Amino acid sequence: MDKTVSNRKAEKELLKQRKREEAIRLIRTQEKTPFWMRMKYKYLTAYYAKQAIFKIFRLLLLIGISFVILFPYYSKIAGSFMSRDDFVDVSVKLIAKYPTLDTYKAIINDNKYFLALFNTTLLSLLCGVSQMLTCAVVGYGFAKFKFKFKGLLFMLVILTMIIPRDTLQLSLFMKMRYFDIWGIVGFIKKYIFGSSEATPAIANLLNSFWPLAILSLTGLAFKNGLFIYIMRQYFNGVPDELEEAAYVDGAGVLKTFVRIILPMSVPMLVTIFMFSFSWQWSDSFYTGLFFTNKTDFVLLPDIVSIPVSLDTNYAAKEAYEAAIRNTCGLMILAPLVVLYLFGQRTLIEGVERSGITG
Amino acid sequence: MDKTINKSIKTTNSKPITPNAKNPRKTLSLQKQKAKMGWLFIAPFLIGFAIIYLPMIFESIRFSFNKIEIQGGGGYILNGVGWENYSNALFKDTQYVPTLLGSIKDLFLSIPAIIIFSLFIAVLLNQKMKGRAVFRAIFFIPVIVSTGIIERIDLMNSLAQIMGEASNAAAEGMETTTTGTEIISIMDIENLFRGMRVGTGLVEYVVEMANNVYDIINKSGVQMLIFLAGLQSISPAIYESCYIDGASPWETFWKITFPMISPMILVNSVYTIIDSFTSESNQVMTYIHNVYNKPGGNVQATAMSWMYFLVVIIILAIIGGIMSAYVFYQKRDT
């Protein structure tokens, strides 16, 4: 009895062994193994199950969070195609029953969309490029040279980052309205030429590109302290031997910077440019401060209003007006999204390479 | 004739073609030259700081002690009022101090959430998987896109909603702020945590954070980028040796990733504080903005924001001080 059982067991074992050997032989000889066998040896293991559960969980989580990020934009896009009747209809939630492009047309015609787009593109390009170059130069200076008071001066950079811009908005406005250098020109005008103005100055810079250009070129614009910090960290990671090789070959410091360092750090530069460009694009703090004459000089953040040609006085007035405002927001952000789609690979690469440490 | 020859010899002697290693003066001058170039490189910032920023700070402080009168012919007159603007803000204004305290409380609640969330997502996005590029692109959309303009429009919409009497059914789902509540049911989370018996304080905190999940995601874009950069800078060799020694992923995270990323946590906390204190959606900032736009309120607003700045600095110093005691640096000399 016992013997037969053990025999059977042994036979079974032997069979299993043979099967496995057969499978291994088939794999070794590159012949086609039976489908189920392959599946079994590959997927029916504890290790693989653990991995699979983890992967599914991760995927679900990421998809969920992506949904949270994207859903508001989706609902806004959906709302932008709705006509007036859709907002009264209770059954309409996300997909319009009577789709229309009227909202877009009205915003483009009434709110001077293309004029605003042109102005903002010009301004953002100016600010983006100048901030990018300034922050790169200043960051390089802080990273690669030794001079007195370096730590102290870098504290000043951090200081510009910490002081809220609202703290300085009044004096910033006054500074640009009565632009002057330490009041020297005003002093000369007042006491030597006898100017009759209460506060004489070089010029009134409001309603021009000058205030933002000056701020960008001196690295004082929005979050430039952060950019300088990032660039400094990046240049700290660039090996000194590279520059030494350039010096040995007879290049000066400036030439080394322009010909070797800048081309090398294009991903970082693109990152900085994308940040400064897009933050300038949707900024309303500085533009609201410096462009007091909104009728002549339209910028994109100013176009958020209800177009005259759309009659919103209707049953679901709030919802409709909200949808129109959201459409304005979408149209402001659309060019940025296009830019982001082109630049995101470089942006993430740039951030990965930045080597920010402590 | 002899003199001139001697002179020429002297000059050639004093300027050797190859740099003399024994002569310390030569190396010093090279260093000085480089230092000069350093000054040249940071000159844009320095000039701007000296000409624009420094006077602005002084002026701003001066404005906060004065009343301002804009003259018709172009110009302004300052009337000194001493500490009046400050005392007005602190003792007469009934909203300023509560708003300030409220926003500080909010900040202390949201910092851990933002840091933990962005670290978690950065770790996830750092792993190798299919579709990583797509997820990364989606997760960094808020960094580029949500820079206040969506928030402002939402604010306008909610204002319009409050003004209009009947809130319409169709308006739901149009607003970004309600999406979080729609996706994650509050009741579910509350029930889950009740079952776990962890205390009401924590339950309320988690529920609040789950409600603000959209805000948190929006605010943690840059932090995610910084964490990703930090994770990339950890050498793979350390992970490899850990794996060979038989450490589980959980252990690897707490023993390797967490200490190595701790400087980044400090940087991110500081950045989060600065960012949330200076963002336009901050309650205090909105309040100061409103005060600024009132007639004669601009000096008041300046005084308020200086006090606010002081509070921010103090909080930064405290948090930075506490955290830097626990930060681990792989190499101290950089």
CB pairs under 8 A between A and B: 305
Lookup: tokens for B313: 């600095």
CB atoms < 10 A from the CB of B11, how many? 9
Scan for tokens 């996300």, then name that residue.
Answer: A94
Residues of B in contact with A69 (CB under 8 A): 138-139, 141-142, 217
Beta bridge partners of B67: B79
Sorting pLDDT into bands at 50, 70 and 90, what band is B184?
Answer: low
Q: Looking at the 3D structure of chain A, how many domains does it have?
A: 2
According to the 3-state scheme, what is the secondary structure of B77-99? EEEECCCHHHHHHHHHCCCHHHH
Q: Is residue A321 part of a domain?
A: no
Residues A159 and A30 in one domain: no
Q: How is residue A197 annotated by DSSP?
A: S
A352, part of any domain? no
Check whether residue A168 and residue A22 sit in a common domain.
no
What's the confidence (pLDDT) of residue B196?
67
Distance (Å, whole) CA B221 – CA A271: 14
Q: Using CA atoms, how far apart are residues A237 and B327, in angstroms rounded to an integer? A: 21
Q: What is the pTM of this model?
A: 0.75
- Cβ proximity of B308 and B284 under 8 Å: yes
Pick out chain A residues at pLDDT < 70. Answer: 1-5, 30-33, 182-183, 186-187, 189-203, 296, 312-316, 351-358
Domain membership of residue A248 (yes or no) is yes
Residue A324 lies in a domain: no
Is there a domain that residue A181 lies in?
yes
Partner-chain contact A145 B277, CB within 8 Å: no
Q: Which of residues 293-332 of A touch B (CB under 8 A)?
A: 301, 304, 316-319, 321-323, 325-326, 328-329, 332
Say whether A79 and B174 touch across the interface (CB within 8 A).
Answer: yes
A67 touches chain B (CB under 8 A): yes
B147 Cβ under 8 Å from any chain A Cβ: yes
Reported ipTM: the value is: 0.71
Interface test with B, best of A165, A244, A346, A357 (most B CBs within 10 A): A357
CATH number at residue A201: 1.10.3720.10
Contact between B170 and A319 using a beta-carbon 8 Å cutoff = yes
Residue A325 lies inside a defined structural domain of this protein? no
CATH 3.40.50.300 is the classification of domain B88-324: no
Q: How confident is the model at residue B194 (pLDDT cuts 50, 70, 90)?
A: low
Question: Can you state the percent helix, strand and coil of chain A, rounding each to 5?
Answer: 70, 0, 30
The two three-digit tokens of residue A118, written as one number: 């042109």
Residue A32's domain comprises 1-44
Q: Is residue A344 part of a domain?
A: no
B60 touches chain A (CB under 8 A): yes
Assess contact for B1 and A116: CB atoms under 8 A: no
Nearest chain B CA: its distance from A323 CA (Å): 7
Q: Give the Cα separation of A335 and B313 in Å (integer).
A: 37
B210, pLDDT greater than 70: yes
A331 located within any domain = no
The domain boundary, picked from A275, A303, A331, lies at: A303
pLDDT of residue B56: 82
User: A91 versus B100: which is more confidently predicted?
Assistant: B100
Interface mutation vs chain A, best among B60, B121, B144, most A CBs within 10 Å:
B144
pLDDT confidence of residue B171: 44
Least confident of A45-49, B177-181, B187-191, B239-243: B177-181
Q: Which of A55, A214, A282 sits opposite B147 (nearest CB)?
A: A282
Residue B172 identity (one-letter amino acid): E
Domain boundaries, chain B: 88-324
Which three-class secondary structure state does DSSP give residue A299?
Answer: coil
Burial class from Cβ neighbours inside 10 Å (0-12, 13-18, 19+) for residue B99 reads buried
Which chain A residues are within 8 Å of B290, Cβ to Cβ? none
Looking at A281, A303, A325, the residue that finishes a domain is A303
Q: Which long-range contacts (CB under 8 A, 24 or more apart) does B86-95 make?
A: B86/B303, B86/B307, B88/B300, B88/B303, B89/B300, B89/B303, B89/B304, B89/B307, B90/B307, B95/B287
A40 and A117 fall within a common domain:
no
Task: Give pLDDT, residue B244.
Answer: 92
